[in-house]
């Protein structure tokens, strides 16, 4: 067991190709245990590719650089091994899996523990357990399904790709609270009282609107542009800058490094 404050994830000069094009052109970042980092950046800057490369999806080919997780080099590791090491991902557009029932997948994710299915109700997904995974799900239903699966998976580090996108305002509250529970209580069962619970789960979160930051505290933010990290800083500061001046202005400013 790693102690609080140890390095959870370290990415060193990562270059990644997808669809025959270099998308990430030397990305380095570090996330400590219990830390939540936010990734900003315009569309097409490579944010989703970075998350997919950390998860180990084969369409993202690492051409150079390294991904270290809990002190291990996982650059060449399979998706399932990474998942079993403690990485989980909430995909923005997960594939439809016809014929596979959501309940069966959630149960398999919990390694056969059927009691996790009882939690479906609190995700408003109890009526979806008998349905094919993602088939005909709305935007909000996909998010809630992903979060239910992650709750069954209990990762130590989660990759959240735009958790609030395509979700109506009413659903955002439920999703925000569930993301909060996922990060702040390891069993996802009892809610955190807010002040004293230990922060165990680390996260890297992509957000455009910053709405999810109303539910989780973020320690650090990066701006990714054209496959490189252009800027890092306090999440609220960066979000304010982006809102006021857009990415162009932000990117032209000098890079500020707050890494100690």
Q: Which residues form the interface with another protein (CB under 8 A)? A: 55-58, 78-80, 82-84, 88-89, 91, 94-101, 104-105, 108-109, 111, 132, 149, 152-153
CB of 174 to another protein, least distance (A): 21
**C-alpha distance from residue 207 to each of 42, 188, 213 (Å):** 10, 22, 9
Closest approach, Cβ 155 to another protein, in A, equals 9
Residue (29 or 60) nearer to another protein, CB: 60
User: Cα separation of 4 and 153, whole Å?
Assistant: 21
**Nearest-approach distance from CB 205 to another protein, in angstroms:** 17
Residue closer to another protein (CB basis): 120 or 231: 120
Q: How far is the CB of 80 from another protein (least distance, A)?
A: 4
Q: Report the alpha-carbon distance of residue 207 to residue 12 in Å, rounded.
A: 23
> Alpha-carbon distance 216 to 205, whole Å?
10
Q: Which of residues 50 and 229 has its CB atom nearest to another protein in the complex?
A: 50
Nearer to another protein (CB atom), residue 3 or residue 58: 58
Least separation, in Å, of the C-beta of 104 and another protein?
7
Please, which residue, 25 or 186, has the CB nearer to another protein?
186
Residue 126 burial (C-beta neighbours within 10 Å; 0-12, 13-18, 19+) = middle
DSSP three-state, residue 29 = strand
126 vs 132, beta carbon nearer another protein: 132
How far is residue 232's CA from residue 35's CA, in Å, rounded to a whole number? 15
Q: Which is nearer to another protein, 6 or 108 (CB)?
A: 108
Residues 235 and 218 sit within 8 Å (Cβ to Cβ) = yes
Task: Label residues 147-182 b or e (16+ Cβ within 10 Å = b).
Answer: bbbbbbbbbbbbbbbbbbbebeeebbebbbebbbbb
Helix H or strand E encompassing 12: strand 7-18
- Least distance in Å: CB of 191 to another protein? 24
Residue 87 CB, shortest distance to another protein, in Å, is: 8
């Amino acid at each position: 067991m790693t102690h609080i404050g140890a390095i959870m994830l370290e990415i060193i000069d990562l270059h990644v190709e997808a669809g025959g094009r270099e998308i990430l052109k030397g990305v380095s970042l570090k996330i400590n245990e219990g830390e939540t980092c936010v990734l900003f950046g315009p569309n097409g800057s490579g944010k989703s590719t970075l998350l997919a490369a950390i998860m180990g999806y084969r369409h993202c080919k690492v051409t150079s650089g390294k991904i270290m997780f809990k002190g291990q080099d996982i650059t060449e590791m399979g998706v399932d091994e990474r998942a079993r090491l403690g990485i989980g991902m909430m995909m923005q557009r997960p594939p439809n899996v016809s014929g596979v029932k959501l309940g069966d997948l959630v149960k398999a994710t919990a390694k056969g523990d059927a009691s996790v299915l009882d939690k479906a109700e609190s995700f408003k997904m109890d009526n979806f357990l008998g349905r094919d995974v993602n088939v005909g799900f709305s935007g909000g239903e996909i998010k809630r399904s992903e979060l239910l699966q992650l709750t069954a998976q209990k990762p130590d580090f989660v990759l959240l790709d735009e958790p609030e996108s395509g979700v109506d305002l009413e659903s955002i509250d439920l999703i925000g609270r569930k993301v909060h529970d996922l990060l702040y209580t390891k069993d996802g069962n009892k809610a955190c009282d807010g002040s004293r619970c230990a922060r165990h789960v680390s996260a890297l979160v992509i957000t455009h609107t910053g709405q999810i930051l109303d539910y989780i505290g973020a320690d650090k933010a990066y701006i990714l542009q054209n496959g490189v990290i252009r800027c890092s800083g306090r999440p609220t500061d960066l979000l304010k800058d982006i809102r006021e001046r857009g990415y162009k202005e932000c990117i032209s400013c000098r890079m500020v490094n707050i890494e100690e």
